[in-house]
Amino acid sequence: MCDIIVAKDSAKIADPHVKVGLSAGDGGSVIWPALIGFARAKRYLLTGDPITGAEAAAIGLISEAVPGHQLDARVDEIAHSLANGAAVAIRLTKRSINMALRQQIDALLEAHLGYETLSHLSADHRAAVNAFVERRTPSLPAVERCRTSWPA
């Protein structure tokens, strides 16, 4: 949700909610589609698979990726540019850009958090937590795997 995101090109970025039996309900299900489109967002949010900083930059999830040794210098350069820019214009431009996103978040976040809460109470999540504590890969309960009709 940052304004400008610069990452090391080899950084690993993921939203692993589903890997621990949770719905991505804390904003990721709003911001990822807004940034990279629904098809790509579904691919990463439904699998929890990580991508590198370079891949994230290529698909528009983050602003840019740089080699690790250049990261601090690049961040300093951007911060300096913003700090020495026209503060009112920058602030109002940011506000304008974020209007649609804020409306979407306001409209959806409560429902998304509700879904995350429901998934928090699921057997999938309990299995994932137990597997984490026991340092093993989770085996999802058969009752959860067998459900074929879940509301869209």
Q: For 2-70, where are the alpha helices, taking DSSP H only?
A: 28-36, 38-47, 53-59
pLDDT at 146: 46
Taking 70 as the pLDDT cut, the residues of the chain under it are 140-152
Output phi, psi for 66, to 5 deg: -135, 160
pLDDT at 138: 78
pLDDT at 3: 94
pLDDT at 143: 47
Q: Which long-range contacts (CB under 8 A, 24 or more apart) does 126-132 make?
A: 126/21, 127/21, 128/19, 128/20, 128/21, 129/20, 129/21, 132/20
Domains defined for the chain, CATH in brackets: 6-121 (3.90.226.10)
Gyration radius (Cα) of the chain, Å: 19
pLDDT at 148: 45
